Structure 1
Amino acid sequence: MRIKTLKKYGLRWTLGLLLTVVAVLQVSGALRIDAIERMDTFFADLRMRLVKPVLDPRIVVVDIDEKSIAEVGHFPWNRKIVARLVTQLTEHYGVASAGFDIVFAEADNTSGYDVLEQLAQREMKDVGGFGARVAAMKDALDYDGLLVKALEDQPVVLGYNVAEDQRKGKLPDPFFNTDTLNGRELPANTYNGYLANLDRLQDAAATGGIFTALPDPDGILRHTALLMRIGDGFYPTLSLATAAVALQARAITPLWETNVAELSARQRANGGLDTLLMFVGQKKAPMRIPVGENLSNLIEFRGVGGPKGGAFTYVSAADVLAGRVGKEVLADRIVLIGTTAPGLLDLRATPVNSAYPGVEVHANMIKSILDGRFKVRPDYADGVEALQVGVVGVVLALALGVMAPLPSILLAAAMAGAVFGFNYWTYTEMDWVLKMAMTLVLIAAVFVLNVAWGYFFEVRRNRGLVSRFGEYVAPELVAQMAENPEQYNMDGESRELTVMFVDVRGFTTISEGLTPKQLREYINLYLTAMSEDIRSAHQGTLDKYIGDAVMAFWGAPVHFSDHARRGVATSLLMQASARRLNEDFIARGWPELKIGIGLNSGLMHVGDMGSNIRRAYTVMGDAVNLGSRLEGITKVYGVGIAVGEVTRAAAPEFAYRELDLVRVKGKNEPVAIFEPVALAPEVDAATLHELERWHLALAAVRAQRWDQAESLLAELQILSPQRGLYALYVERIVYYRAHPPGENWDGVTTFETK
C-alpha cells in the first residue's frame, strides 16, 4: 500500500518539496529572485496602506496652502512675512519647536531698500534729508534682519539640502564628526556640498536639518536618513533635528556594539553601530533610536497624507498669521512648516499616495521618534521567514497531492490568509518588517502543481493571446482567435493590408482654447469614438495613439480578404462620428472638431516590433509611409479622407472623387489619390452629377485646357461653394497660366515635405 501511494503521489510530493527548498534558499539569502523582491516591495506597500491612521495632536503641519497664497500673496513670501509667522508660532502660540521644510538660501531684497540706498547715494544725494530718512528705514526694510530677530533664542529649525560639488550658505553645527568616532567607520549617505541658509539666519536659528529625499530605484520614497555626512561632520535630517529641539536634547551620540563576534548583519552594515542615543533634558536614561543601513530608517507612512489624510492636524499658514487658530491647537506642539499647494512641487511618490506632501515625511519620522517605535527588520527575520516557508511548503506539498480540488482550494486559501494575517500582526503589534511574497508564491506554486496545472496552463495560453491582442482588435476577434490560438502569433511577416492614419485638424489651437480638464474630456471622447468605429464596426486592429492621432490597420492578426473595403467603410463612419461629436462640442462651447484620414493598401511588414524595453504589434513599410503622407495631404485638398489607388481598386463598391496625381516625399513614382464619397448605390443623382463635372474639370486641367477647366470649376463652386478642392484648382490654373508647365507635363503634383 505504501509503495502504491508513493508511486501515485511521490512525484508530486518530490516536486512540491523541491519548490519548498528553492523558497527556503530565497528567503535565507542564498538565492535571489528579483521578481520575488519586487513582490515583497508591493506587499510591504500594501500592508502600510491597510493600517488606518490615528490623529496625533503632538505634531501639527502649518500649511502654506492655496488659501494662504490667495490671502498673503504668491510664494515664496518675503522674510518679513516669514518673520511674522515665526513670531506668531513661538511667542503667541508657544510651540515646542518649529521646523521649516524650506531653505532660505538667497538674500531678500524685495523691500526695495537697495534701490532707495542707491538713490540716496546718486540721484537724490543732494535732496536734503533724503539720505537720513533712508538710513532710518534700514532696520524696518531689512527683511532678513527681521527674520533674524524672530529666530533668536527660539526653538526653530531651518531646513536645507545636500548637494554635490556646491557649497552655499552656512551649515549648522554637526551632531558629531569623524574625530569623535575613535577611528571607527560609520557608513552614511555622504555628500561634498550643500545648499543651506544664509549665514545670519542659520546663526540665529536653534539648528538646521536636511530635508533631501532619497527615493528607492523605482522612484518611491520608503526610507529616510536620520543622519547624513557632509565633509567630516554628521548632520541630522529635519525630522531628527526638530524632534531634538522639541525634546531639548543635550546631545545625540552613536552607541556601538562592543562584542564584534555578536554583530548582526544590520550592525555590520553600519560599522558596528547599534542605535543612536538622544540625551533628553535632565533625564538620565537616553532615548534609543535604532538605525538601519546608511543611518536610514523605514518611514511608517500613516494615512494618505494631506489635510484630510487623518494622521496629523493641518492649519493654514494664513490662519496662523491672522491668529485665527486656537492656542490649544499649537501650544507645546511640534510644528512643521511646509506646503501642499500643487504648484510648489513639494509632493513625493510614496507607498500610500503618489502625491504625498513632503512635509509629512518628516512628521511621520518625528512621530516614530516620540513614540520610540520604528518599523525594523529584526536580525532574526531570515530565520523566522525560513521557518514559515518550510512549514507551509511541507504541509501543502504533502496534503494537496492527496486532496480533492475543493478542499485543496480551501486549504491553500486558508494558508495564504494565515500568512498574510501573521505578517500584518507582526507589523502592527511587534513593529517587525517581515517578507511574505515567497511564502505566498510557494502556496500558489504547490497548489497549481497538485491541483490545476493542466487547466491553468490552458487558460494561461488563452489569456496570453487575449493579453497580446486584446488592446488591438475587437473582442469578438479575440474570442475567435482564442478558439485556435496556435494559428496566431506576433512573429513578423509580410501581408497585403490596409493602414489608416487619423489626425485632428488644428489641435494646437484647440488645446489652447480649453482648460486641462476640458481638453482631457475632449480628447477622450474623440479617441473613444474613433476607436469604437475601428474595432467594433469593421473589426480593425487599433495600432496606437500618437498624441491626438490614431493609427490602425486591417488584415492582421485575423486575415480579411476585404481589408480595403473595411478600411474605407470605417473612414466614412469615423467622419460621421466626428460630425456627431462636433455638434456636441459646439453645444458645450468647445472648439470645432475636424479630422483628416489617410488610407492606403499594399504589402506591409506586420508583427511584434520594438526594443527590449518596449514592443508593439504594428506595421511598417512603404505602403504604411504613403498612408501617413495621405493623411497630411488631406489638409492641402480640403477633404476629410484621402486613399491611395491600390485601396480604391481593392474597394470598388464605393464612389470616389479623384483628387490628383501626387509624388510624395520619399517616393519617386506618382500615385493617384482619391476621396471616397459613399457606397456607390447610396450616391444620389446630384452628387453623381457633381462628380462627373469634377472629373471633366480635372481632365481639362491635365490637358492644359485652362478655359474649359475654369468654366467647369465655376459651375462646381456654385454647386458646392464650401468645397476647398475647387478653390485649390482655380488657384492652380491662375498659376499655370502665368507659369505654363510645358508640353511634357505629366500632371503630377510633387510634395517636398511630409
Structure 2
Amino acid sequence: MQLLSRHWPRIAVTLIPLVFALMHASGILRIGVLQRLDDIIYDARLRATMPGSIDERIVIIDFDEKSLAEFGWPWGRNKHAALVNELFERQKVALVGFDVVFAEADESSGLKRLRQLAQGELKDQPGFQDKLNQLQGSLDYDTVFAKAIEGRPVVLGYYFTSDRDGRVNGSLPAPAMDRAVLQGRPIKFTSWNGYGANLDLLAKAAPMGGFFNSITEGDGVVRSIPLLAEYKGQYYESLSLAMFRVLVGLPKVEPGFPPEKFLTRSYQGLESILLRQGSKTLAIPVDDRVATLVPFRGHGGVGGGSFRYISAADVLSKRIAPGLLKDKIILIGTTAPGLLDLRVTPVGETYPGVETHANVISGFLDGKVFVKPDYAVGFEVVILVLAGLTLAFALPMLSAPKAVAASAAVVAALVGLNFWLYSSYGLVLPLASALVMALTAFALNMSYGYFVESKSKRELANLFGTYVPPELVDEMVKDPDSYSMKATTKELTVMFCDMRGFTQMSETMEPTQLQVLLNSVFSRLTDLIRSNRGTIDKYMGDCVMAFWGAPVDTPDHASLAVKTALEMANAVRKLNEEHRTKGLPEIGIGIGLNTGTMCVGDMGSDIRRSYTVIGDSVNLGSRLEGLSKTYGVDIVVSESTRKLANDFVWQELDKVRVKGRDNAVAIFWPLAPVGRIDEGNAAELKAWALALKAYRMQDWEQCDVQLLNLQRLNAKKYLYQLYTERVASMRLLPFDPGWDGATNFQSK
C-alpha cells in the first residue's frame, strides 16, 4: 500500500491508455486506426501462415483471355452445355459449381427470329415450319443447357443486391433455413433487398444454388464471405456452403446456439451453422454476421499455386486428356479483367473472385475455418484489463531496464496468446488495441518517470550529491519521496577527523603548496568515507566531519564508521611514507567517533544552509577527537559506538568526563577487525586489562607492576607512559572511596 500511495500519479497516467482501449473495445469510442491496425495484423499473419501448396481436390475452369479470344463472349448456353457434358461424361468430375449467373434468356441461336419468320413472312413457305420444328430442340440453347445440368451435381450461382428499387431477376433456389428455427433471436445476418438469379428453367433443372457475394470491409478489402444471408425473412446459403453440402450428402442446415452453461440465457448470438444428417452433426463457426473468414491458401490466380486453373477453351475443345479431372470439385469462373470478377484481398489486389469460394470449400474439407467469434469483445476487454493493470502497477515500481523487459514480456505474451488461439483453434481475436495500449502505457510511464519523477530525482541528487556517496544517491533516487532535507531525530554515528601539524606546516609552506597537500589528504580521506557509505558533513579548516546512517538508513552505521577510521589511519601512514621519500612534512590525524541520537537535516540561515547533524552526541564526538592526542592514539571511540561495532578488537583507554557532560564515558581504541590480532597483542591486552582494573581500584603497586610489564612488551606506546605518570602523581594522594576511575577534562 505504501508503494501504491507513493506511485499513484504514475499509475494513473499509465491507466489512461487502458481507459481509451476499453472504450474502443466496448464500442463507446471506436478508434478507426485501431481497427485498421487489427486488419493489418490479420493480413500479415494470414500471409505468414498460408500453406502455399496446391489443393488437388479443387480445379477452376477459367473463362480466361484465351477462352474469350477463341470463342468470344458471352458464350452461348450450348457451349456451356457442351462444357458441362465434357466435365461429367469425359472427365468424370464429382461436382460443378458456377460462379456465373444465367439471368437472361440466350437468343444467340436466332431461334426467336426464325419463329417470327415462321409466323410472318415465311408462314406459307412449304416445309419451313417442319424444318423449324426439327431444329428447335438444338437451337433452344437454354433448354439444351438445362438438360445438360439436370440430374447432375451442379450448383448454380447467383447474387444479391441492395438498391433503392429492390429489383429482382430470375428465380431463387429454395432457402437453406427458415426464420422459425432462430427462435426469435435477432441475429445480424447480412441482408439484401434484391437479387439477380438464374432463369426459372435452369433453376428447376439444377435446384441447388448459392450466392457468390462477399463482404467488402471499410478499407475495400475482401476478407470474409457470409455463409447465410437474409432475404425477406428467409435465409439463403452461399455458393461455397451449397457446394460443400452437396459433397457431404445435403445435410440439413440449422442454427448453432451457444451452450447456456457458458453464456447467459440473454445472449442472442449465433455461434455456428450446424450441418445435421442423421446422428452426425458438423458445426461451422461463424462470426456475428454469420460469415466466415476466407482461409486463403496463396496469392491467387493462375500462378498463385493454390489451385489448378484450366482454360475453359481447352476443356470445350477436348484438349484435356479424358479422366484427368476425375472426382475433382470444379468451380467455373473467370480471371479475365474485362469480366470484372477480380477483388482486393489480403493476399492480392487482383484476386479472382472464384478462388475465394475455392478457398472456403478447401477450408471446409480440411476443417480449417477461421472466424472472429461473438465473444471477441469480451475477450478483448479481459485481455486489456489484465495487461493494462499489470503494466500500470508494475512499471512505476521498476527501473527503466526492468520496465522495458516487463513491457516486452507483456507484448510477447499478448502476441503469443493471440497467435496460439489463431493457429490452434482458428480464432481471430483483436490484438491491436492491446498492443497499442501496452506500448502507449510504457511510453507514458517512461515519459512521466523522466519528466516528472526524474526531475525530483535530479533535484535530490543535486541536494545530496556533494554530501552523499554516488552509491547512496543511486539508492535514494529510486524512491525520492522518502528523502528530504527536513530535520529529523535518529541514531547516527558521527566522526570528527583533525589533521595534526597543520599549523606548523602553514608556517613553513607556500599557500599553494599547502593547498595541494591539504586537498590531497582530504581527497584520500573523503574517498574512504564515501566508499563506506558515509555522508560528508563539512570541512572545517584542517578538520573533516562526517556521519553514518542518514539520509539513507544504514543499520551497521557504527561498524562502517569504525572501519572507515581504521582505513583512514592506515592511509595516513602510507601517505607519510610517500612524504618522507619526497621530503614533505609528515602529518598525523586524530579521529573521534560517537554513536547516539542526533538531529539531522538542512540547517543554517536564509543565506547559506547545509545538511548537517547537531546535538549532544555530536559534541561528544568532537571532544573525543580532541582526546586522541592526549592518549597518543589516532582514534578514540565512545562506548556506545563500541557496543554496536562488536566485530573489532578494542583496547579501553579510560573513563572520561568531558566539558559539558556530567556522566563519565568509557573510551576505546580500535586495534583491528576480529581475527587479525596476533598472540603478542592478545597478551598485551590481557595485561592492560589487569593494569586498568588495578588503576580504578587505586591499587597503585599492582598497577605499576602491570604497567612495567606493558612497557617491556611495547615500549613505544605512549598510553602506558601516560598511566605510569598518572600513577606516580596519584600515589601522593590519599585513598578516595568516592572516585569512579574517570578522568575529568575541562577544556575542549
TM-score normalised by length of structure 2: 0.54
**Contact residue 105 and residue 198 of structure 1 kept, 8 A:** yes
1:134 maps to which of 132, 135, 139: 132
Kindly state the Cα deviation for residue 276 of structure 1 after the two structures are TM-superposed: 2.5
> Which digits, 9 at most, give the CA deviation of each residue in 1:240-288, with x for residues without a partner?
11111122214223344585994488x614xxx44322235xx631222
Structure 2 match to 1:103:
101
Matching of residues 350-429 of structure 1 within 5 Å: 350-378=345-373, 381-382=376-377, 384-397=379-392, 400-401=395-396, 412-413=407-408, 415-429=410-424
The question of whether the paired residues in 2 share the 8 Å contact of 1:278 and 1:288 is answered with: yes
Q: Post-superposition shift, 1:31?
A: 5.6
Aligned residue for 1:57, secondary structure, equals coil
Task: Decide which of 432, 436, 449 is 2:431's aligned counterpart.
Answer: 436
2:311 aligns with one of 289, 308, 316: 316
Whole-Å separation in 1 of the counterparts to 2:225 and 2:111: 41
Deviation (angstroms), 1:203? 0.6
Which residue is equivalent to 2:65? 66
Contact map agreement 1:279 1:287 (CA 8 A) in 2: yes
- Residue 391 of structure 1 deviates from its aligned partner by 4.5
Give runs of aligned pairs for residues 577-616 of structure 1, distance below 5 A. Answer: none
Rg: which structure is higher? 2
Conserved in 1, the CA contact under 8 Å of 2:181 and 2:255?
no
Q: Which residue of 1 aligns with 2:499?
A: none
1:91 aligned to which of 69, 89, 92: 89
Equivalent position of 1:649 in the other structure: none
Structure 1, residues 352-404: CA drift from partner, whole Å, max 9, x if none? 22222111222222223323332233465445444543454455445655666
Number of residues paired by the alignment? 447
Contact 2:296-2:356 at 8 Å conserved across structures: yes
3-state SS in 2 of match to 1:297: strand
Alignment partner, residue 238 of structure 2: 237
Deviation at 1:422, TM superposition (A): 3.0
Q: 2-side partners of 1:169 and 1:213: how far apart? A: 20
Question: Structure 1 residue 279 and structure 2 residue 280: aligned?
Answer: no
* Residue matched to 1:346: 341
Q: Counterpart in 1 of 2:268?
A: 268
- Between the aligned partners of 2:434 and 2:260, the Cα distance in structure 1 is 34
User: Does the residue aligned with 2:272 lie in a helix, a strand or coil?
Assistant: strand
Query: What secondary structure sits across from 1:56 in the alignment?
Result: coil
Aligned 8 A contact 1:288 1:372 in 2: no
Aligned mates of 2:403, 2:388 — CA distance in 1: 14
User: Quick one: distance in 2 between partners of 1:75 and 1:116?
Assistant: 23
Matched residue, 2:288:
293
SS of alignment partner, residue 268 of structure 2: helix
The range that moved more, 230-239 or 176-185, is 176-185
Report the CA distance shift for 1:455/1:305 in structure 2 as closer, same or farther (over 3 A): farther
Give 1:148 shift.
0.9
Q: Whole-Å Cα distance in 1 between the matches of residues 382 and 197 of structure 2?
A: 49
Give 2:64's aligned amino acid: D
Q: Is the 8 A contact 1:153 1:206 kept in 2?
A: no
Q: What stretches of structure 2 of length at least 5 have no aligned partner?
A: 452-748
Counterpart of 2:80 (choices 79, 82, 93) is 82
Distance 2:259 2:115 in 1: 63
CA spacing shift, 1:192–1:24, aligned 2, 3 Å? closer
**Contact between 1:94 and 1:331, CA under 8 Å: does it hold in 2?**
yes
2:143 is paired with a residue of what secondary structure? helix
1:277 aligned counterpart, secondary structure: strand
User: For 1:421 and 1:80, how far apart are their aligned partners in 2?
Assistant: 55
Letter in 2 for 1:277: L
Q: Partner residue of 1:673?
A: none
Preserved contact between residue 257 and residue 263 of structure 1 (Cα < 8 Å)? no
Report the AA paired with residue 61 of structure 1.
I
- Aligned position for 1:303: 298
* Partner in structure 1 of residue 563 of structure 2: none
Mapped partners of 2:391, 2:251: distance in 1: 56
The CA deviation string for residues 517-542 of structure 1, in whole angstroms up to 9 with x for no partner, is xxxxxxxxxxxxxxxxxxxxxxxxxx
Local SS of the residue matching 1:239: helix
* TM-aligned CA deviation for residue 128 of structure 1: 3.4
1:640 alignment partner in structure 2: none
Give 1:435 deviation, angstroms.
1.1
The residue number in structure 2 matching 1:196 is: 197
Letter in 1 for 2:102: F
Residues 128 and 288 of structure 1: CA distance in aligned 2, closer, same or farther (over 3 Å) = same
Q: CA 1:415/1:319 → structure 2, altered by over 3 Å: closer, same or farther?
A: farther
User: What amino acid is the match of 1:426?
Assistant: L
**Counterpart contact for 1:86–1:151, Cα < 8 Å:** yes
Return the offset for 1:444: 2.1
- Are residue 158 (structure 1) and residue 159 (structure 2) matched? no
Q: Secondary structure at the match of 1:86?
A: helix
Q: CA deviation at 1:202?
A: 0.8
* Kept in 1: contact 2:287–2:374 (CA 8 A): no
The whole-number CA distance in structure 2 between the counterparts of 1:258 and 1:16 is 38
Q: Alignment partner of 1:160: what SS?
A: strand
The alpha-carbon distance between structure 1 residues 413 and 428, as it changes in their structure 2 partners (threshold 3 A), is: same
Distance change in 2, residues 1:263/1:107 (3 Å): farther
Cα deviation for residue 328 of structure 1 reads: 6.2
Does the aligned pair in 2 maintain the 1:90–1:155 contact within 8 Å? no
Q: Secondary structure at the match of 1:348?
A: strand
Distance 2:405 2:213 in 1: 48
1:48 — aligned with what?
Answer: 46
Report the equivalent of 1:122: 120
Q: Distance in 2 between matches of 1:451 and 1:255?
A: 48
Name the % identity: 41
The question of whether the paired residues in 2 share the 8 Å contact of 1:287 and 1:372 is answered with no
Consecutive unaligned residues of structure 1, counting only runs of 5 or more, are 457-754
**Distance across 1 between alignment mates of 2:5 and 2:124:** 111
SS in 1 for 2:73: coil
In structure 2, distance between residues paired with 1:5 and 1:274: 42
Counterpart Cα distance in 2 of 1:388 and 1:257: 22
Shift of 1:184: 5.9
TM-score of the aligned structures, taking structure 1 as reference length: 0.54
Distance 1:445 1:101 in 2: 47
> Partners in 1 of 2:324 and 2:412 — Cα distance?
42
Kindly state the Cα deviation for residue 190 of structure 1 after the two structures are TM-superposed: 3.2
**Offset at 1:112?**
1.7
Could you tell me how far apart the structure 2 residues matched to 1:61 and 1:347 are?
14
SS in 2 for 1:268: coil
Say yes or no: does 1:219 pair with 2:216: no
Maintained 8 Å contact 2:61/2:331:
yes
Shift of 1:437: 1.0
Q: Distance in 2 between matches of 1:10 and 1:195?
A: 63
- Separation of aligned partners in 2, 1:4 and 1:240: 58
Provide Cα deviations, 1:282-323, integer angstroms capped at 9, x if missing partner.
x63122223332422233333222122232222222222233
1:463 aligns with none
CA distance in 1, matches of 2:146, 2:350: 33
Q: Verify the 8 A CA contact 1:154 1:206 in the aligned structure 2.
A: no
How far has the Cα of 1:239 moved from its partner?
Answer: 1.1
C-alpha separation in 1, matches of 2:286 and 2:313: 37
8 A Cα contact 2:59 2:309, kept in partner: yes
Give the CA RMSD over aligned residues.
3.3
Partner residue in 1 for 2:477: none
* Inter-CA distance 115–58: structure 2 relative to 1 (3 Å threshold): same
Counterpart amino acid of 1:353? G
User: 2 CA distance for matches of 1:39 and 1:449?
Assistant: 21
What's the CA shift string for 1:115-172, capped at 9, x where partnerless? 3333344334444333322221111111111101101110111111223522221111
Secondary structure class of the residue paired with 1:128: coil
Do the aligned residues in 2 keep the contact of 1:174 with 1:236 (CA within 8 Å)? yes
- What one-letter code is carried by the residue in structure 1 that aligns with 2:281? P
> Any idea what the Cα deviations from partners look like across 1:529-564, whole Å, max 9, x if unmatched?
xxxxxxxxxxxxxxxxxxxxxxxxxxxxxxxxxxxx
Give the structure 1 partner of residue 574 of structure 2.
Answer: none
- Could you tell me whether the CA contact under 8 Å between 2:98 and 2:155 is conserved in 1? yes
After superposition, the Cα gap between the structure-2 partners of 1:15 and 1:168, relative to the gap in structure 1 and judged at 3 Å, is same
Residue 420 of structure 1: how far off its partner (Å): 2.6
- Between the aligned partners of 1:5 and 1:194, the Cα distance in structure 2 is 62
SS of match in other structure, 1:95: coil
Q: Which amino acid aligns with 2:308?
A: T
